[in-house]
Amino acid sequence: MEKLVGKTDFEFFWRISSLYNALSYTAIDPIVFHEGNSSSGLNSDAYYDNELAIPLIKKRIKIGADDIIKNYEIHKDFLKYFSEIDLAIKNKDRINVGNNVELLCNLTSDYLNFVKKHKSQLPSKYFLDYPTCKPEHYFQLRFEEKGDLMTHHLRFNTKINRINGEKDLNKIRKIIPLFGLVHGDLYRIEIMNQIDPDKGVTNPLKNNIERNKELLKRIGFDVFQHQKN
């Protein structure tokens, strides 16, 4: 029989999944170009538009190599926390789930401040932006009251700014203690593994971290080697 989920768990998983979606996109900001220099719409990236994008990415490396490296490092840490969260869910360990979500929120707060500094230092040439998840994708779990399939749009920091991002992080922090007090088993969910109609089960954050690293390496910038220097 399929495990059902209560309201607190549903909101908790929905908010974490929304944050995961948002951070999956910021992982590739160094190689993506946005309409109007904003995360509101993806325009092109160097995988699909080499003639246009590669010279521009080389300019980004010239003016912001340190920020490209730090962006990569922070997203690797995001991936680590999400991996720990999924493992704790598998082990039905609510306390450890909550602890790692708290650490994830703190790191995301640091990331918001990092992006703010990046944009202030490169006001007309910035290429990193605040994580956002607009209500274009769905999140679904089956509710316990009637067994109805509850559907909610993923949503995080839709205004794409630091203040609104912090507000949404505080909503996650607020529900962590409530999540820890819920009695009963955890719903078996994997935050990182998502189903793509064309690709099957995917891990967007991990895939985009690797995509960003490999593209930069193709054009002569190895973020892994620069981490060691």
Tokens standing for residue 179: 């999540």
Binning pLDDT at 50, 70 and 90, where does residue 83 land? very high
What region, left, alpha or beta, does residue 84 occupy, with left being phi > 0 and alpha being psi -120 to 50 degrees? alpha
C-alpha to C-alpha distances, 174 to 11, 15, 48, 100, nearest whole angstrom: 11, 11, 41, 14
Spatial distance between the Cα atoms of 151 and 227, rounded to a whole number of angstroms: 41
pLDDT of 68 higher than 80: yes
Spatial distance between the Cα atoms of 131 and 182, rounded to a whole number of angstroms: 29
Specify the pLDDT at position 21: 93
Spatial distance between the Cα atoms of 145 and 125, rounded to a whole number of angstroms: 51
pLDDT digit string, tens, across residues 157-213? 999 999 999 999 999 999 999 999 887 777 778 888 765 545 555 789 999 999 999
Find out whether 206 and 27 touch, Cβ atoms under 8 Å.
no
Spatial distance between the Cα atoms of 9 and 187, rounded to a whole number of angstroms: 8
pLDDT of 147 higher than 90: no
Binning pLDDT at 50, 70 and 90, where does residue 67 land? very high
pTM recorded for the entire structure = 0.88
